Amino acid sequence: MIKTKLCELLGIEYPIIQAGMGPFQTQKLAEAVANAGALGIISTSGIIFGSLGIDLGPLTAGKGGSYDTVTKYIREVGKGTRKKGATFGINVMVSAELGAPAMEFVRAAVNARDEDPDIREGLKVIITSAGDPLPWTDVIKSSGLKWFHVVPSVRHAKRAEKAGVDAVIASGHEGGGHVAWEPVHTMAILPSVVNAVDVPVIGAGGFCDGATLAAALALGAVGIQMGTRFIGTKEADTCFGDIWKNRLLKTDDRSTIVARGFVGPLRYLRNEASVQLAKLTVEKVPDLFVGHPDITLDQALLATELEGHKALAGQNDEKALFYGGEVAGRIQDIPSVKELIERMVEEAEDIIKELPGKVIV
């Protein structure tokens, strides 16, 4: 059995976190991950887009105000996990322009814990991302929740530590969905962040099996966060349906592409829609690919991404936009969440046990 500081910090069985994976609903997946002994995460970014009047299609976060919608999601997952005493959390984007809905999410989490003892036992974590954590110190540190922040660099990790987070999630460029402006990959960022801060570090980007879990631990991490691999599970059915899973099974190691999206660069599975979006990116925001942030989002880019989201419901796997990390090419099956997690940990244990016999020191 692999136990780390992450397990001790959260009371979970396995040092694995399900990524937020917005803007899609992840309640069922979060429930399954939590009940399997890892940390399940409720996505909230789709609720933000809905509150801003951006319709991302029928498979995203649904209708309703920010506070009421996230409260509903928390209660759903709380109800589904209370029998096993499982642990879950919420992911919140905290960029300056999204401050108002982000505050509603934090308030909803705090109130849900205050109103229901079972939720208080299960809802233990808030993961912030896509913004500066420092302005959130007073709000989140007084919430009673453990606080993790996603970072793309050593500089951001040090700022998160200064803000008072309980752990940082060092996210490499090979991850799916939102990636950093500069392409710093996990083998570079993870050990650098581990050496730069004193708080526990979780690795994200490129993790999908026992070998990569063992590698993260060898690099000094206390656990891993996965998104793409969890899409390829039986329980990821609310939004990540057969069209997405079948696309994953078709991919190889060169089947992803980075293009401009709503919240900056995004990594997609390669198909007609993502290639077209990348071409538009080169035309409209060429500096994106040399690490120079450009906040402009041309109407052609916006329309292409919106159409890509809506095409998911239409089951057109060339017109739909699928977020996915580079590990998509290593996904060969669609197990249950429980089967995946237990297999990964068993593989990692075997690798760690066998390693002394494979090296000469």
Region 166-175: mean pLDDT is 96
| Amino acid (one-letter) located at 3 | K
Q: Where are the domains of the chain?
A: 5-238, 243-326
Region 349-353: mean pLDDT is 95
Geometric angle at alpha carbon 81, from 76 and 82, rounded to 5°:
105
Model pLDDT for residues 282-299, shown as the tens digit of each residue: 888 888 887 777 777 778
Residues with Cβ < 8 Å from 105, sequence gap 6 or more? 44, 47, 66, 67, 70, 90, 92
Question: 3-state DSSP helix/strand/coil percent for the chain, to nearest 5?
Answer: 50, 15, 35
Q: Quick one: pLDDT band at residue 93, thresholds 50, 70, 90? A: confident
Region 329-334: mean pLDDT is 95
Q: Are 257 and 278 spatial neighbours (Cβ–Cβ below 8 Å)?
A: yes
**CA dist., res. 148 & res. 204, Å (int):** 13
Model pLDDT for residues 263-272, shown as the tens digit of each residue: 789 999 999 9
| Residue 91 β-bridge partners | 43, 127
Most confident segment among 82-86, 180-184, 258-262, 325-329: 325-329
7 pLDDT more than 70:
yes
Region 23-32: mean pLDDT is 90
CA torsion through residues 57, 260, 333, 185, sign: negative
pLDDT for position 4: 97
Q: Are 157 and 196 spatial neighbours (Cβ–Cβ below 8 Å)?
A: yes
Least confident of 52-56, 197-201, 333-337: 52-56
**CA dist., res. 313 & res. 307, Å (int):** 10
The answer to whether the predicted template modeling score (pTM) of the entire model surpasses 0.95 is no
Region 304-308: mean pLDDT is 82
Eight-state DSSP code of residue 3:
-
Q: Quick one: pLDDT band at residue 230, thresholds 50, 70, 90? A: very high
**CA dist., res. 227 & res. 314, Å (int):** 23
pLDDT for position 38: 98
**CA dist., res. 321 & res. 311, Å (int):** 8
Q: Quick one: pLDDT band at residue 67, thresholds 50, 70, 90? A: confident
CATH among 3.30.1360.200, 3.20.20.70, 3.90.1310.10, 1.10.10.10 for 5-238: 3.20.20.70
pLDDT for position 68: 85
Region 10-15: mean pLDDT is 96
pLDDT for position 300: 81
Region 318-325: mean pLDDT is 92
Q: Quick one: pLDDT band at residue 262, thresholds 50, 70, 90? A: confident
Model pLDDT for residues 29-64, shown as the tens digit of each residue: 999 999 999 999 999 887 876 666 666 655 555 555
How large a percentage of the chain has pLDDT more than 70?
Answer: 94
